[in-house]
Structure 1
Amino acid sequence: MVSTRAVPNHTFRRLRGRSSPGEFAAVVRRAAREIGEQVACDARYIGRVEAGEIRCPNYAYERVFLHMFPGLTLADLGFSARETVRGRASRATADARPAPAPLSNPTPMRGDTGDISEESDVLRRAFMTNGTASMAVASLGIGIGVGIGIGAPAAAVPAPRQAGEAEVSALEEAVRRIRLLDDRHGADGLYRRAAQPLRTAYALLDAGTVTRGATADRLHASAGELAISVGWLAHDSGRFDDARSHYAEALATARVAGDPGLEAHAFCNTAFLARDAGRHREAVRAAQAGRRAARDLASPRLLSLLALREAGGWAGLGDRTGCEQSLGQAHTLFEQGPSDTDPEWMSFFGEPELQALEAQCRAALGDWPTAARHAYRATILQDPHFTRNLALYRAELATDLAHAGFLDEAAAAGHQALDLMDEVQSSRIQGILAGMVRVLLPKRRTPEVGAFLDRHASTASAAHRG
């Protein structure tokens, strides 16, 4: 017979740290909202858990706790196995229910299952990649992504000890892994998982354990770059308000740290987001601010990209002269070639991206044939490693061709884009294809167009069911 005597849960109590039960309950409720759960957590509930009266949480709390402490199991949190609490009869009933989806990976990615199975949890393990980093982060006393949001009250976070090389290196690795996965698969399956290391990064900053020197500079830079990466995932998956918030956080971090490279990056992405959101004058101003921040960084390629961002804003405003001037500056700067001082995050920016961004400007000005020529160049020049960008360029080419009246060619390019959508999850690309479909619908009777529209409808329906 299984004993029902309450045994205090000292592990959970340690995870609460110096927060009061009420403060920690607020953290739990906030974490629940992040994943769409509703729990009525209060100080009394936390007290019951720590007293051992709740030996295993219900499924809703389980999902919240695993979201707050990615990489840990219920046993790691001090709870008993569900079957030992509920007994054999309850276990049989529970086994008959559909298993709850693991919250560390809320949106499974499709495509190459070998790559996905290996990498699906990489973001929540970004701080656990080696023994040194694992021990260092564990020593912080805040767990990994303890469910705190950026700007959470300091009292809600147990105070970490010294942050050093291992923690900063783990943050830098998280940024690289996020970018790699985005290049391969797009943003939709990554955004929520990427938010966990970001919370940990800002918990380190808020704790103030590193205040000066090279380590402090790297900590600020990696936290800011992580905010931009998470902001981009939000942007690409259609969460514009979230993206704007993350970019603003990165910009504030850059200003506090006096980091012009990070500031230029934040403004660059802000300009891109503003253009996609239809705030074209803001896109121009942000790009110009980014160019001012980057003027002493000795990176012509960075200045070229910022000029392209400005050109996109002018095009959205219908200002052909401003757009042409910025495009000319972008090409002149690009032709100066790469530099050792080019930022690491600019690995995506080469001739294909230059052509694609000019295509977007031409499309915004209504010059569809010219847009299609540039988009076509982007597709044939793109390295297949950048799967998401290749899908994007093909979708934009299909749209430009459809508007230009080249229906068969548009359908063919659309098929090529769909060929990659099993590997890529990007609401942005899906939205581009949906817009192209609306252009083609009146021409459904054309055999090639009809075949593409049928395939797109079938693909969209399968994705919705999935």
Structure 2
Amino acid sequence: MASSTETASQPERPPRPNLAFRQLRGSRSPAEFAALVRRAAREIGERVSCDARYVGRVEAGEIRCPNYAYERVFMHMFPGRALTDLGFAPRSSVRGRAARATPDADPAPAAGAPPGGAPGESPGAFEPYDPHENDQLNHEESDVLRRAFMTGGGATVAAATLGPLRPTTDATAAVRPSRRPGTPEAAALEEAVRRIRLLDDRHGADGLYRRAAAPLRAAYALLDAGATRQTTADRLHAGAGELAISVGWLAHDSGRYDDARSHYAEALATARMTGDPGLEAHAFCNTAFLARDAGRPREAVRAAQAAQRAARPLGSARLMSLLALREAGGWAGLADRTGCEQALVRAQALFERGHSEADPEWMSFYGEAELEGLEAQCWSTLGDWRRASRHARRAAHLQDPHFTRNIALYTAELADDLAREGRPDEAAAAGLRVLALLDQVQSSRIQSMLAGTARVLLPHRRASGVSDFLDRHASTPRAARA
């Protein structure tokens, strides 16, 4: 579908691969290079949601010119080089947009214009979610998620199609697109998924879930409208399915298990309709995780095995490793130590094969820290607190500081394992580290773990640091449930 700046008779030009940018990546995988971009962004105070897919789109020539946030990051990474040296087109040539006068100041948007860059750019800078503004945001439209759809490729078209995305409990009130969706809408939907994941990594699910329903309804409204091209329709279905999984995870992490189950089932149905094995594997992966947490370990094993059947043709050893860990969690819940250990050995062997181009974009969280953290949970379920605490400690130590929520999660796991192992002073110290992160992270899952640790530590109030932990935990406000 032509964008708003092109006539319907104009065919889209095939993208020209960006060989210069590909050369800069060198021997690193797209995921590894994306991690370097995010690290460079943090060094200069920028926030970009760069991942393997974004790197792939740049290298494929789909992003002819990055937006200003990415430009600043790339100039920091490669000082002395212009955008054209990195293989990008001059900004003035992108859809006729004039180049800005200076590299440091973005032009003010026209009145009523949606936020974001020029058409054809991928979003970069992003307003951080502020937990202290939660009450205000509960009563206003979600700028965070609205902008995730309204910026990026075809910003004007996406904004017109999806509208303000105000939260509503009436599913029939979802915005009805006035035109058939195309590439800009598909790109905006994909970026929305990335940004939700990015915010969850930093802040946890509780503050996001309340505001994620409207974008999901809008995504399915796009599917109902129907795309002109099959390739666009496939992207929209995949994007809507991934968004359903992301919203399902927000429900899962905030303790809304029935909602999560519904969202995962919706994603699975979308995958089955379109014959998308990657989406099917992802939906089953999350279903297995949910079943384990909800006390249905046999279902967790079955779902994890179904995910492995769907994922096997995809060729990603890292994905198969994660799915083996999901299966291990189910076996642990069934108190089947042998089945759990076999799955853990398989997960480790697959993990050691390393990254590949076949690794799904959503797996950017899965590194050595997550491997250690999930193994810790298995040993904890089996009651082997010493092994559990050893792996949980390694997970917290290895975690990239970017993933604040996971640091809090692994440390909460460590605190609980130490408490049950009979080391109350160390457990209290770990618990205090988690409490210090709760002003940045909102996760009912983590708060529930801390509450369990506090109960275990109650008889040990006289141990060093325990009284301090218990008092601070008791005075910590709990996140409100919507």
| TM-score normalised by L of structure 1 | 0.71
User: 1:149: Cα distance to partner?
Assistant: 7.0
Q: 1:111 to 1:368 in 2, by over 3 A?
A: farther
Structure 2 counterpart of 1:452: 469
Contact 2:177 2:222 in 1 (8 A): no
Q: Which runs of 5+ in 2 are unaligned?
A: 1-111, 113-128, 135-140
Amino acid at match of 2:389: A
1:124/1:194 contact within 8 Å kept: no
How many Å apart are 1:313 and its aligned residue?
Answer: 0.3
The equivalent of 2:221 in structure 1 is 203
Shift of 1:419: 1.3
Aligned to 2:295: 278
Computing the radius of gyration from Cα coordinates, the structure with the larger value is 1
Q: State the match for 2:206 in structure 1.
A: 188
Alignment correspondent of 2:231: 214
Aligned partner of 1:293 in structure 2 is 310
1:243, 1:222 → 2: CA distance?
Answer: 17
Which whole-Å CA distance do the structure 1 matches of 2:373 and 2:249 have between them?
18
* 1:135 pairs with one of 154, 157, 169: 157
Given that 2:176 and 2:221 are in contact with CA atoms closer than 8 Å, whether structure 1 keeps it comes out as: no
User: Residue 441 of structure 2 aligns with which residue?
Assistant: 424
Confirm or deny that 1:145 pairs with 2:165. yes
Q: Identity, % of aligned pairs?
A: 72
Decide which of 237, 241, 251 is 1:234's aligned counterpart.
251
- Map of 1:308-319 to 2, 5 A cutoff? 308-319=325-336
Q: Which residue of 2 aligns with 1:102?
A: none
CA distance in 1, matches of 2:174, 2:262: 21
The Cα of 1:207 is off from its aligned counterpart by 2.1
What do residues 266-304 of structure 1 show as CA deviations (whole Å, max 9, x unaligned)? 000000000000011010000000000000001000000
| Aligned match of 1:352 | 369
- What is the Cα deviation at residue 202 of structure 1? 0.3
Partner Cα separation in structure 1 for residue 435 and residue 323 of structure 2: 30
Q: Does 2:192 correspond to 1:174?
A: yes
Structure 1 unpaired stretches of 5+: 1-75, 77-106, 113-118
Task: State whether residues 126 and 197 of structure 1, in contact with CA within 8 Å, keep that contact through their aligned partners in structure 2.
Answer: no
Residue 146 of structure 2 is matched in structure 1 by: 124
Change (3 A) 1:258 1:149: farther
2:384 paired residue among 353, 359, 367: 367
1:377–1:198 distance in 2 versus 1, CA, 3 Å:
same
Distance 1:304 1:149, change over 3 A: farther
- Give, in angstroms, the shift of residue 161 of structure 1: 1.4
2 CA distance for matches of 1:156 and 1:369? Answer: 51
Bigger shift: 233-242 or 119-128? 119-128
- Provide the rounded CA distance (Å) in 1 between the counterparts of 2:263 and 2:244: 5
Q: CA separation in 2, counterparts of 1:217 and 1:430? A: 39
Q: Which amino acid aligns with 2:250?
A: L
CA separation of 1:331/1:111 partners in 2, compared to 1, >3 Å: closer, same or farther?
Answer: farther
1:135 Cα deviation from its structure 2 partner: 3.0
What does 1:6-45 correspond to in 2, within 5 Å?
none
Given that 2:163 and 2:175 are in contact with CA atoms closer than 8 Å, whether structure 1 keeps it comes out as no
Amino acid at match of 2:203: H
Which residue of the other structure, out of 253, 259, 276, is the alignment partner of 1:259?
Answer: 276
- Output the CA distance in 2 between the equivalents of 1:238 and 1:464: 12
Aligned equivalents of 1:200, 1:289: Cα separation in 2: 29
Query: Deviation of residue 130 (structure 1)?
Result: 5.2
Counterpart of 2:355 (choices 321, 338, 345) is 338
Classify the secondary structure of the residue corresponding to 1:345. helix
Aligned CA distance change for structure 1 residues 131 and 226 (closer, same or farther; 3 Å): closer
- SS of the aligned residue for 2:150 comes to coil
Deviations 1:104-152 (A, max 9, x none): xxx961499xxxxxx97211222222583233441x3x634376779x5
> Would you say how many aligned residue pairs link Structure 1 and Structure 2?
349
> What TM-score do you get using the length of structure 2 for normalisation?
0.69
Contact 1:303 1:333 in 2 (8 A): yes
Q: Is residue 142–residue 211 contact of structure 2 (8 Å, CA) maintained in 1?
A: no
Equivalent-residue separation in structure 2 for 1:310 and 1:386 (angstroms): 24
